[in-house]
Chains A and B, each alone.
Chain A
Amino acid sequence: MPGPQDSLERLQVGENPIISLEVQMTGDYLPIRIKVKNAETGASVEMELETDNTIDEVIESAATFWSKDMGAYVLRKGKKVLRGGSALDAAGVRADDVLELIPDPEGG
């Protein structure tokens, strides 16, 4: 089964990196672009997605893009943590939104 690394395309447009999840082209294909910030470094990346991509896919793609250590991460929009299994539209993610990838620390 392909993982996020298999479906991740890395593009470089000017100075802004863009990553897009591999999407199946359908008649109603409508990509949206969002920005994901890395809470640990302040870096950001634009992602091109379909509205039925899930939050889990965004987290895994962004973590892979930044070569994050194996660990748990959450994605926030504003003051809310987004549910992993939700599709972007169900999670209320819209074009041009800025989301933030935050580590969810495991140690005690």
Chain B
Amino acid sequence: MAEPLTIASTEQDRFDRSRRISWLDLDSISKSRIFIVGAGALGNEVAKDAVLSGFKDISIVDMDTVARSNLNRCLFFREEDVTAKRNKADAVARGLRDLYPDATVRPVVKRIEDVDDCDLRTARVALGCLDSIAARMHVNARTYSLGIPYIDGGMEGFSGKVALSLPPDRACLQCGMNRTHAQVANLRFSCTGSDVVFHEPRLAAEITTTSIVSAVMVREALKVVSGHPEMLLTNAFFYDGARNSCEELEIPLDPDCPVHRTPSSGYR
């Protein structure tokens, strides 16, 4: 005999309040694997929002270790992680398991360039939480060719941006780049082509902008996974926290963009 429904039973369901949002497909969300690239400030917030939204299968990639200067904006990092030189991906994975023990979290301590396509291919969505233009271009190109929607976040001080690359027909992240992006990307690398950093500015960063950018990123991921392309950003969301303004802007597809010369397997 079935248990009678009681008021209290709704309080036992972790996602009861989420189920009240009609367009959210919680079944699909719980079964979809997401791939978070970067476990810094945005990576922490994106991972937190993702797991609280019901994502249970999460890979998070970062090669770096926790520094004390990360602690003003990274939820899952602790003072002891600094002392232990803990990998950022491991620290975030630990925090996510603590927040939602049912989640399967795979920390990947590697450069994204060294991550095999096999690891990326099964992702339903990739979320870029990176701090370099070159790495963004790399992830954008790989996800586009694999047909994986890519949601990229960026921030500096009170400025933020979220861009969505949706293969195979829509503009990608690189379509919106210009010569200033190339100059910044080139500045980070030595003329030998190796990844020796010449110039690594310490960008202004604080948690309130991080929170807004990460929230928009995860919300777009929820729309993708719930099967609501009509609700997605056209291309990019720009946020100006100093003026409390935000706007969605269109990035036209660039026919000369090298990413579009490679056939994409299409948005799944």
Contacts and interface: CB of A to CB of B under 8 A. Distances in A.
Partners in one complex: yes
Interface of A: 39-40, 55-56, 59-60, 63, 69-74, 76, 79-81, 83-85, 102-108
B199 to A, nearest CB: 8
Interface in B207-230: none
A56 B242 CA distance: 26
Contacts of A69: 201
Nearest to A80: B250
A108 B251 CA distance: 21
B238 A102 contact: yes
Contact of A60 (B132, B176, B180, B184): B180
The winner among B129, B155, B179 for most chain A CB atoms within 10 A is B179
Interface string B50-84: 00000000000000000000000000000000000
Contact of B178 (A84, A103, A106, A107): A84
A92 B211 CA distance: 36
Given A105-B159, A106-B132, A71 B184 contact: yes
B250 A108 contact: no
Interface of B: 38, 40-43, 128-133, 153-157, 159-161, 175-181, 183-184, 187, 201, 203-205, 235-236, 238, 240, 242, 247-252, 254, 256
Contact of B251 (A39, A72, A81, A106): A81
Contact of B156 (A79, A85, A105): A105
23 contacts: A59-B178, A70-B183, A71-B180, A72-B177, A74-B178, A80-B250, A80-B251, A80-B252, A81-B235, A81-B250, A84-B177, A85-B178, A103-B156, A104-B176, A105-B156, A105-B203, A106-B184, A106-B203, A107-B41, A107-B155, A107-B156, A108-B40, A108-B42
A103 to B, nearest CB: 5
Given A81-B250, A107-B155, A108-B38, A70 B176 contact: no
Given A72-B184, A81-B249, A102-B238, A108 B176 contact: no
Nearest to B171: A81
Given A63-B180, A71-B180, A80-B249, A39 B240 contact: yes
A103 B154 CA distance: 10
B180 A81 contact: no
Contact of B154 (A55, A80, A106): A106
Contacts of A74: 176, 178
A56 B179 contact: yes
Contacts of A76: 249
Nearest to A102: B238
